[in-house]
Amino acid sequence: MSVAHVDDEEAAEVGNVEKALPSGDFYTGQWCDGCPHGNGKYLWTDGCMYVGEWFKGKTTGKGKFCWPSGATYEGEFKHGFMDGKGTYTGFSGETYKGTWVMNLKQGEGTISFVNGDYYEGEWRRGFQEGYGRYHWKNGNQYIGQWKKGLINGNGTMIWSNGNRYDGFWEDGFPKGNGTYKWPDGSFFVGIWSKDGKDQNGTYYPSDSPTEKFDWDPQQVFLEDLKDCKICGGEKVSIWPSEKMPNWFAISKEKDGKQRRRSDGSLSGFSMSSDFNGGSVSFGSEGISRHGEGSVGRLHLEDSVARGSYLQLKKPPTRRQGQTISRGHKNFELMLNLQLGIRHSVGRPGPALSLDLKTSAFDPREKFWTRFPPEGSKHTPPHPSSEFKWKDYCPLVFRTLRKLFNIDPADYMLSICGDDALRELSSPGKSGSFFYLTNDDKYMIKTMKKAEVKVLIRMLPAYYNHVRSFKDTLVTKFFGLHCVKLTGSTQKKVRFVVMGNLFCTDTAIHRRFDLKGSFQGRTTAKPEAEIDSTTTLKDLDLNYIFRLQKLWFKEFCSQVDRDCDFLENERIMDYSLLIGLHFREVSTPHTSGVSSPTGNGDCENGEAPRLSEDSNDQLVINSTRQSPVSLGINMAARAEKTVRKNDCQVVGEPTGVMYDVILFFGIIDILQDYDISKKLEHAYKSMQYDPTSISAVDPKLYSKRFRDFIFKVFVEDT
């Protein structure tokens, strides 16, 4: 053990030392090349202390930093910063456990406040931001979106008395479309605003005799939210990175090059950027940051090492469809649709029983409602033209929503909220249009009259099937309606509300629509234009999917049950829609194969290229647990295949594996084998192999579909 002053002239030492600095600070531990390197302990004269790992003079690795106040941080450090997983315990007892980036809370973390409140969820640059849950000591809790430490976005507030608000928030208060519900089942739906003049809505009573006609929505702002203040937490007095000594003082200037100062900065270099609401300056005096939550002075070499945190904000992830805003040709139709659904769902009805009478399925069980612009006894005034609204078998679809655990208020909020629907053009040849809700939960499809008849005809069998098999893969239907425009056109628009198979925070990198037929089953787009929103077809498929043994058995059983149901109902032309999420963007499970790029070039064994946005989303969502069920959020392995000739149904495995998350379901189940399909089959059979075309007898279609799907999905051995 050697004991010396740090300013002594000495050769590079390797081993354990004790060093007394001129400032009075003291270091003991491993030493190499004139600075701490390895495990060591540093004591400052003001009472601060660090014990842990060092790398070339900086706290890097696992360690513990203690403040004179009694506060401590124990966890990971990088380049002098609290960075990685760690726990901060404040002098008052407040505790944060989670991830850090450059001294700031970032990622997933949980904080317990000294007043008894706690928060668990996502953080960004030191503030609650993203998805999180805040629990107050009095039993109230909020679950939903946050921004810069405030409740902001879509979320749910649940009070200890059982009341709850579901809807949108802005700066800690309800703002926009939302629903307030009581434990007895009654609820208030409307537009919320802290300014009572801008607020309006409708109260829907429950079956309970107690009604609340004298209730004022402003009570939520004046009374209910009084005890829902967000605790700010204690401030860190000084950051560990600000305490790091400068071990190297290089002031030599050579050959006219930039001179490195004793603080590690370069002279003659200047630029500025924005970072977390403060400013980051790169100048002749080094790098500094100003603003709340400042990380203090940064060395230039640190900024290079952590350069990714100083990049400009990336553009938002691309969303499918065109928003239906004012001026869009279907804007008025969207308003009519939202008014009608709010009327249908909010209308009081009898107590629900899953045992429905035969009369509920009667095709004549349909109801018209007139919506004049000035309003009526049963309908509100509206800015659109007069229209009529039809509900088909309303009791059946109301019961289906209950069977699928759809909350009526949430359903209305998704479809009839402040945010406009998005219009998707049809990917098929039917000419139908699809509308997607802003939260991606529901898809609305326009229908032909023949499709409506098919759905009503098969509704009893469909109801019994989905009731018997909760993991069915067939499309979930929630409502069947019609809008009839008044005036000279008398146009009727029929549509069905369905569940969106890809309603997930997980990025969908590839989509496949598989029927088991091959005539015309390829994507017309050039490879350069194929992206994550493109729906590929049978001949584009270049993977087989390996499921775990138990999931594979359940998958095969359910596909058989669903196909039997569709075959018995004389349905054909359905398909299995698959969404594919690559869990890793790095090298797949084989040597010498590059990271995923391209549409699946068979020669290089590569998987789809993931955009930067997809990469971000992958990282963000990998920490959040999502429910798993058959066809939803299923972990699997995708093996690359190569189709060596056009006669191959499924390509040959290559051994190149990718860890994936799968989403899949059976869609387009409303096409029966009618006279038009029989004629199509006869015509195409004269031109192509009859077994390769889509329009075939339901029994043959079912067998061919199963044979193909059971080649695409195999057991993972």
Q: Where are the domains of the chain?
A: 14-93, 127-232, 323-500, 506-583+626-716
> pLDDT for 258-280, tens place per residue?
443 333 333 333 333 333 333 33
* Predicted TM-score of the model (pTM): 0.58
Q: Which residues touch 715 (CB under 8 Å, ≥6 apart)?
A: 546, 547, 549, 552
Q: Which residues touch 130 (CB under 8 Å, ≥6 apart)?
A: 121, 122, 123, 124, 145, 146, 620
Per-residue model confidence (pLDDT) at position 575: 93
**Beta strands 442-447 and 434-436, pairing class:** antiparallel
CA 290 to CA 298: how far, in whole Å?
A: 11
CATH topology of domain 127-232: 2.20.110
Identical fold for domains 127-232 and 323-500, yes or no, is no
pLDDT interval class at 223 (50, 70, 90): confident
Q: Which residues touch 169 (CB under 8 Å, ≥6 apart)?
A: 144, 145, 151, 152, 153, 154, 155, 175
CATH topology of domain 323-500: Phosphatidylinositol Phosphate Kinase II Beta (3.30.800)
Per-residue model confidence (pLDDT) at position 179: 86
CATH topology of domain 14-93: 2.20.110
Per-residue model confidence (pLDDT) at position 4: 47
CA 40 to CA 55: how far, in whole Å?
A: 10
CA 380 to CA 668: how far, in whole Å?
A: 35
Which helix (H) or strand (E) element contains residue 5?
A: strand 2-5
Least confident of 44-53, 105-114, 138-147, 188-197: 188-197
Per-residue model confidence (pLDDT) at position 31: 84
544, HSE (Cβ side, Cα atoms, 13 Å): 22
351, HSE (Cβ side, Cα atoms, 13 Å): 2
Q: Which residues touch 513 (CB under 8 Å, ≥6 apart)?
A: 427, 535, 536, 537, 575, 576, 577, 578, 667
Q: Is 308 helix (H, G, I), strand (E, B) or coil?
A: helix
CA 127 to CA 172: how far, in whole Å?
A: 14
CA 713 to CA 587: how far, in whole Å?
A: 23
Tell me the H-state helices in 605-716.
Answer: 612-621, 675-685, 698-712
Average pLDDT over residues 665-674: 84
Per-residue model confidence (pLDDT) at position 584: 65
Q: Which residues touch 659 (CB under 8 Å, ≥6 apart)?
A: 582, 583, 584, 589, 635, 637
Which residue would you say has higher pLDDT here, 291 or 187? 187
Picking from 401, 451, 404, the residue whose alpha carbon sits closest to that of residue 426 is: 451
CATH topology of domain 506-583+626-716: 3.30.810
Q: What is the layout of strands, in order, in the sheet containing 278-283?
A: 271-275, 278-283, 286-290
Label residue 414 left, alpha or beta by phi (over 0 means left) and psi (-120 to 50 means alpha): alpha
> pLDDT for 14-43, tens place per residue?
578 888 888 788 889 988 877 888 999 998
